[in-house]
Amino acid sequence: MIEALLPRAEAEARFPSYARVPLGEHALIPGLVNAHTHAAMALMRGIADDLPLMRWLEEHIWPIEARHVSPQFVRDGTLLACAEMLRGGVTCFNDMYFFPEAALEAALAAGMRVSLGMIVLDFPSVYAADPDDYLAKGLALRDRWREHPLVSFCLAPHAPYTVSDATFRKIAKIAAEIDVPVHIHVHETAEELERSVAEHGVRPLARLQRLGLLGPGLIAVHAVHLSDEEIALLARHGASVAHCPSSNLKLASGLAPVARITAAGINLSLGTDGAASNNRLDLLEEMRLAALLAKAAAHDAEAMPAHAALHAATLGGATALGLQARIGSIVPGKAADLVAVRLLPPEAESDSFPELSPCYDPLSHLVYTAAREQVTDVWVAGKRLLDGRKSNNPALFGLNTRCKVWQNTLRARPEP
């Protein structure tokens, strides 16, 4: 826990026996919160690039998942994702994938904070047979782990085009009963909107509203195609948006109206999406890209200033997950989820890191200049997980070897 924020001399006087970590050329920031990802998909990084969303899903991702996803796949893929995210300053991630218990085991082995999605679909998978089976398994997992200090949960219906009205009604009822967020892909593509109107007579958000899903716990992932009325609707219900700029660009889904979203007072968070649709689980990159794209889309250089980008990557994500009282800012009483980012070259190595000089505004430097390679130290709940860019966690050793095995397995052609 964070005990106090003090000038150095006062801190040394009050806590003389505490260990000291000198970070003279660094910014110390709250741990980054990845508000939307599918961590295990790190094992599918680059497997089906340069395709639109539905072709990518239907022709490549879903068939691969049907053949290969298992608890071991999820455990190994999530460990790989955790190792990458920690090296980029991510201390908490919101996951949506099959076999969430395996993801939970991996996250805890890595020492990370995780919000686990109790995933729900209306079609069978290797994980569950039907919507009731998905819900039963997710709720049982929550019952077992709900008191763990690093674990929280979301209900995670995949998307409006994979979940029926009857299932959405059940999810709305359960979400109200157990008070957890609802984490869902929505308004991601123009095709999704057209399909919803053809099948349900309304756009997805209007459908979710009539089914009781809109509220402060809703995390609307992507939210690329929003009218002014839909933005007002999200704002009125106190919902959050999980903005995934790299994934939106790579899948050509469009440019989210970030300036209009934030101007309406909607809580904005940032996510990487999975590595299969982004290739990097790099929230510092998402922070920079979000700020730049917001400016371009709104034709306004002030649309998303640096402080707003950092807020979205930290307290915005914590708020979306209902964790704002525990993490997201450096405040006494909150968990010590902290990240040190180098902003200047070491004094003893003045010619090192030329890309970091000069630094006029540390906050601007953090958002527009620093990269994940400048993350040197990471703490989660006060435990140091990255020390000078090195991890001593045996759970994260040997990942490249395991990845090569999975790579050979996934790229093998299925038998006819």
Percent of the chain residues past pLDDT 70, beyond the cut: 98
Q: Does the residue 346 lie in any domain?
A: no
In a domain, 373, yes or no: no
Segment 167-185, tens digit of pLDDT: 999 999 999 999 999 999 9
Determine, yes or no, domain membership for 82: yes
Identify the CATH number of the domain in which residue 264 sits. 3.20.20.140
Residue % of the chain over a pLDDT of 90: 89
State the distance between the two ends of the chain, measured CA to CA, in whole angstroms. 56
Whether the CB-CB separation of 26 and 345 falls below 8 Å is answered with no
For the cut 60, the answer to whether the pLDDT of residue 84 exceeds it is yes
Rounded Cα distance between 123 and 94, Å, is 23
Report if residue 413 sits inside a domain.
Answer: no
Buried b (16+ CB within 10 A) or exposed e, 126-164: ebbeebeebbebbbebbeebeeeebbbbbbbbbbbbebe
The candidate with the shortest Cα–Cα distance to 191, out of 57, 305, 306, is: 57
The confidence score (pLDDT) of residue 412 equals 73
371 lies in some domain: no
Judging by beta carbons within 10 Å of its beta carbon (0-12, 13-18, 19+), is residue 228 exposed, middle or buried? exposed
Q: Based on the structure, what is the number of domains in the chain?
A: 1
Contact call for residues 40 and 103 (beta carbons, < 8 A): yes
Q: Is the pLDDT score of 414 beyond 70?
A: no
Q: Is the pTM value of this prediction over 0.85? A: yes
pLDDT of 347 higher than 80: no
292-343 confidence digits (pLDDT tens): 999 999 999 999 999 999 999 999 999 999 999 999 999 999 999 999 999 9
Is pLDDT above 50 for 161?
A: yes
Query: Cα 15 from chain centroid?
Result: 35
Q: Which domain holds residue 64?
A: 32-320
d(CA 392, CA 409): 29
Answer whether 96's CB lies under 8 Å from 152's CB: no
Q: Is the pLDDT of residue 416 over 70?
A: no
The reply to whether 410 falls in a domain is: no
Residues 13-53 have pLDDT tens digits of 999 999 899 998 999 999 999 999 999 999 999 998 998 88
| Maximum distance among all Cα pairs of the chain, rounded to whole angstroms | 72
State residue 369's pLDDT score.
Answer: 95
Residue 395 lies in a domain: no
* Alpha carbon distance 279, 126 (integer Å): 25
What type of residue is 27? Answer: A
Instruction: For residue 83, tell me if it sits in a domain.
Output: yes
Tokens of 136: 């039963």
